[in-house]
Amino acid sequence: MHIEVDKQKIYLNYCPFLCYGGAYGNTWQLFGHVHTSKNNTGKDASRLDMLFPTQYDVGVDNNDLTPVSFEQVKRIIQKQVEQANKNK
């Protein structure tokens, strides 16, 4: 599913994609399924390092069992993009 909020293009998917339209631009992808957490040790944990900085797990495991607002996601993704740019 593809939506637009405040002119921000966003893909909403069940699980993270390895690639998607706009991934190398400013299009976000929000997902769940992988049960991300700070101390994630699941068998897919290492694969999460491959995500684009414009991807974010909105699942409850990753967000203190609460929903996250558009503004919260926006701040999180901006921080991830800034960090990725520093690491280039």
What distance in Å separates the CA atoms of residue 54 and residue 22, rounded to the nearest whole number? 10
pTM: 0.90
Q: Which domain holds residue 21?
A: 2-86
Q: How many domains does the chain have?
A: 1
pLDDT digits (tens, 9 = 90+) for 65-79: 999 999 999 999 999
**pLDDT at position 45, please?**
76
pLDDT in tens, 27-54: 999 999 887 777 776 677 778 889 999 9
Provide the H-helix boundaries in 1-88: 70-86
Task: Give one word for 33, left, alpha or beta, with left for phi > 0 and alpha for psi -120 to 50.
Answer: left
d(Cα 86, Cα 30) in Å, to the nearest integer?
A: 23
| 12 or 50, greater pLDDT | 12
